[in-house]
């Protein structure tokens, strides 16, 4: 067993990482405290392995593993929402402040240039991916200057390649430093083309969908020199054609639109007019003059000490995202929203004869994709009045008898099921361009099965099931909190929490499956399974439906 302190003493990199961690939350970081107190860290047992991906039993619990599952709560969430909707309430940096923050980050806070550049480039790439999908904006030209801004562009291009884009690089004045040479080598290893200024087409609109302006950052002074002066003029012309709604690549500027004054913006009104600006660390003063549709903040590395020193008001990053939008997104024509699905074909030969097996295959794919709550399903019911209603519930079991979920037996859906025990389920897995419809009859699961599942849930969820008289009208949220506190006190000794009689599970027995796979030009694959009897044996008939 290796003691942590000697190991850390040997590593300058590790000491820098500890310094970075300490400025974010020094009292709450066990590793940092152990390092300073020379205490051998506790070795925690490994987490339990994930459940097998076989058919789920009715008692199986499926957790969503979303890439953005964390949420912002409380006062900070409200403040962040205000900042995102109102760009005037955000903090903007002048040139001196921006330079001072960089000095602090790369000085006492232990960040290196390559660390910050990697985070900045990743932030740019994720911001672009939020708005411009590779299916329609795949060809990206990154024009990179000789400084750190150019390095951000090189890193962004590498990430864009891995995101499914086709980047091209124009890097006319290469910096002869190991960091930049390494970035070039990384891109060359991915076969990303480098274009000289002479190789660039006269008309960008026929060759590229996006042009990334990574030429000059906030530390640039003076007038642009060749060849960047002509390149900036080309981007100005592109921005003007976009303003006239002509077919033209969109422009994404990193931190500062090249040619702008860092604090005063496009002073002469003849500068680049980017469609997207990705501010890094915090927006610079010139960003107040940005009038394009998409403004994002990236560079998720600002610790509380810097926020306090410079009195920064910045939006919180949602979940695990590397970027956050500033200001409201532009209003769009809903009728113009469309997605051209690109997916492998789903043929009758590929489909399993058993729809339960086919569903499990697709469910396993959804789990493996990492999407949030792949077990979420829309449940549609109707009562005797014939009026349908739908809501999202979570699949909690799948066996030969059907699909299982749990709910309050006094809810609206439960009353409708009691009047009309027929229902429909819909799973939608957008990351895979797939959906599955299931229709059939519904009945309650056994009391024993409900009891077993109830006690497998976290105690907070057990108490929540008692607190919530689902669908009942209540005077305010305080009623829920008060009842929750009473129950937590009542069962604080760890005694078992009894399952309420009005809570339990339902099982839908399928009488129809439909598997949908999105395809280009709306020519989707739709395979329907319906039961039929052949020689006294129940089998499933597979039919292709017109999309």
Q: What is the DSSP annotation of 42-68?
A: P-PPPPPPPPPSSPPPTT-------TT
539: β partners: 532
- pLDDT-derived band at 330 (thresholds 50, 70, 90) equals confident
Q: pLDDT, tens digit, for every residue of 377-404?
A: 999 999 999 999 999 999 999 999 999 9
Secondary structure element (H or E) that encloses residue 448, with its range: helix 447-454
Does 199 appear as a known binding residue? no
Domains by residue range for the chain, with CATH: 95-326 (3.40.50.10260), 355-544 (2.30.110.10)
Does 365 appear as a known binding residue? no
Does 74 appear as a known binding residue? no
Does 34 appear as a known binding residue? no
Q: What is the DSSP annotation of 269-311?
A: S-S---SEEEEESS-BGGGGG--SSEEEEE-----HHHHHHTT
Torsions phi, psi of 243, nearest 5?
A: -65, -30
- pLDDT-derived band at 238 (thresholds 50, 70, 90) equals confident
Q: What is the mean pLDDT of residues 177-199?
A: 97
- Residue % of the chain over a pLDDT of 90: 71
Torsions phi, psi of 538, nearest 5?
A: -85, 120
Which is more confident, 208 or 33? 208
Residues 437, 378: Cα–Cα separation, whole Å: 9
Does 525 appear as a known binding residue? no
Ranges 52-56, 312-316, 426-430: which has the least confidence: 52-56
CB 273 within 8 A of CB 251: yes
Does 161 appear as a known binding residue? no
Residues 513, 515: Cα–Cα separation, whole Å: 7
Does 440 appear as a known binding residue? no
Q: pLDDT, tens digit, for every residue of 286-316?
A: 999 999 999 999 989 899 999 999 999 999 9
Which is more confident, 171 or 88? 171
Q: What is the mean pLDDT of residues 447-459?
A: 97
Residues 143, 170: Cα–Cα separation, whole Å: 5
Residues 193, 227: Cα–Cα separation, whole Å: 19
Q: What is the mean pLDDT of residues 22-38?
A: 45
Q: What is the pLDDT of residue 271?
A: 84
Does 327 appear as a known binding residue? no
48 pLDDT more than 90: no
The secondary structure of the chain in percent helix, strand, coil, rounded to multiples of 5, reads 35, 20, 45
Pairing of strands 166-170, 139-144: parallel
Q: pLDDT, tens digit, for every residue of 243-273?
A: 545 568 999 999 999 989 999 999 888 789 9
Does 221 appear as a known binding residue? yes
Residues 167, 192: Cα–Cα separation, whole Å: 6
- pLDDT-derived band at 64 (thresholds 50, 70, 90) equals very low
CB 469 within 8 A of CB 411: no
- pLDDT-derived band at 237 (thresholds 50, 70, 90) equals confident
Which 3 state secondary structure label does DSSP give 107? coil
Per the rule left: phi > 0, alpha: psi between -120 and 50, beta: everything else, 521 is: left
pTM beyond 0.75, yes or no: no
Q: Who's near 222: CB < 8 A, 6+ residues apart?
A: none
Q: Who's near 475: CB < 8 A, 6+ residues apart?
A: none
Q: What is the pLDDT of residue 39?
A: 34
- Tokens read off for 4: 């942590």
Q: What is the pLDDT of residue 4?
A: 43
Q: What is the mean pLDDT of residues 208-229?
A: 89
27 pLDDT more than 60: no
Q: What is the pLDDT of residue 34?
A: 37
Does 213 appear as a known binding residue? yes
Does 223 appear as a known binding residue? yes
Q: pLDDT, tens digit, for every residue of 147-157?
A: 999 999 999 99
Using the CB atoms, write b or e for 59-83: b if 16+ within 10 Å: ebebeeeeeeeeebeeeeeebbeeb
Q: What is the pLDDT of residue 203?
A: 83
Catalytic residue numbers read 522
Q: Is the preceding peptide bond at 227 cis, omega within 30 degrees of 0?
A: yes
Comparing CA positions, the residue from 140, 98, 135, 137 lying closest to residue 120 is 98
CA distances in angstroms from 36 to 3, 11, 29, 95, listed in the order given: 13, 15, 11, 37
374 pLDDT more than 50: yes
Does 255 appear as a known binding residue? yes
């Amino acid at each position: 067993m290796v003691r942590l302190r000697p190991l850390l003493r040997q590593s300058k990199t590790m000491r820098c990482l500890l310094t970075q961690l300490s400025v974010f939350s020094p009292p709450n970081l066990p590793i940092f405290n152990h390092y300073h107190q020379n205490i051998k860290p506790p070795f925690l047992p490994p987490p339990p392995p994930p459940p097998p991906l076989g058919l789920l039993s009715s008692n199986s619990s499926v957790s969503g593993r979303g890439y953005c599952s964390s949420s912002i709560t409380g006062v900070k969430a409200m403040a962040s929402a205000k900042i995102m909707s109102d760009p005037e309430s955000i903090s903007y940096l002048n040139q001196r402040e921006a330079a001072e923050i960089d000095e602090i980050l790369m000085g006492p806070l232990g960040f290196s240039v390559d660390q910050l550049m990697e985070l900045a480039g990743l932030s740019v790439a994720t911001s672009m991916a939020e708005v411009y999908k590779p299916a329609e904006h795949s060809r990206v030209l990154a024009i990179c200057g000789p400084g750190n801004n150019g390095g951000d562009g090189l890193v962004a291009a590498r990430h864009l390649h891995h995101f499914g884009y086709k980047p091209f690089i124009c890097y006319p004045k290469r910096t002869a430093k190991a960091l930049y040479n390494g970035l070039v080598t990384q891109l060359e290893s991915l076969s990303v083309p480098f274009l000289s200024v002479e190789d660039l087409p006269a008309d960008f609109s026929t060759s590229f969908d996006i042009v990334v302006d990574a030429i000059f950052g906030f530390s640039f002074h003076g007038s642009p020199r060749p060849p960047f002066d002509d390149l900036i003029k080309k981007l100005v012309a592109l921005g003007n054609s976009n303003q006239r709604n002509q077919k033209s690549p969109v422009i994404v500027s990193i931190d500062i639109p090249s040619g702008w004054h860092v604090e005063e913006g496009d002073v002469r009104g003849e500068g680049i007019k980017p469609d997207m600006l990705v501010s890094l660390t915090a927006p610079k003063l010139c960003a107040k003059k940005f009038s394009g549709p998409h403004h994002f903040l990236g560079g998720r590395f600002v610790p509380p000490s810097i926020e306090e020193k410079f009195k920064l008001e910045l939006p919180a990053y949602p979940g695990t995202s590397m970027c956050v939008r500033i200001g409201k997104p532009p209003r769009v024509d809903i009728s113009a929203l469309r997605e051209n699905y690109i997916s492998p074909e789903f043929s009758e030969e590929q489909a399993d004869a058993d729809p339960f097996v086919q569903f499990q295959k697709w469910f396993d794919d959804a789990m493996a994709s990492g999407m949030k709550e792949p077990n979420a399903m829309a449940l549609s019911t109707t009562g005797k009045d014939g009026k349908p209603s739908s809501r999202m519930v979570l699949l909690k079991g799948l066996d030969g008898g059907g699909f299982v979920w749990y709910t309050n037996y006094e809810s609206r859906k439960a009353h409708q099921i009691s009047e009309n025990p027929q229902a429909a389920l819909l799973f939608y897995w957008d990351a895979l361009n797939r959906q599955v419809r299931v229709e059939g009859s519904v009945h309650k699961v056994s009391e024993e099965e409900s009891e077993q599942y109830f006690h497998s849930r976290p105690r907070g969820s057990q108490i929540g099931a008692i607190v919530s008289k689902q669908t009942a009208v209540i005077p305010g949220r305080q009623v829920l909190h008060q009842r929750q506190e009473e129950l937590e006190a009542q069962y604080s000794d760890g005694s078992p929490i009894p399952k309420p009689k009005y809570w339990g599970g339902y099982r839908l027995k399928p009488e129809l499956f439909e598997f949908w796979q999105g395809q280009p030009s709306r020519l989707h694959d739709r395979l329907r399974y319906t039961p039929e009897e052949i020689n006294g044996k129940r089998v499933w008939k597979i039919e292709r439906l017109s999309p």
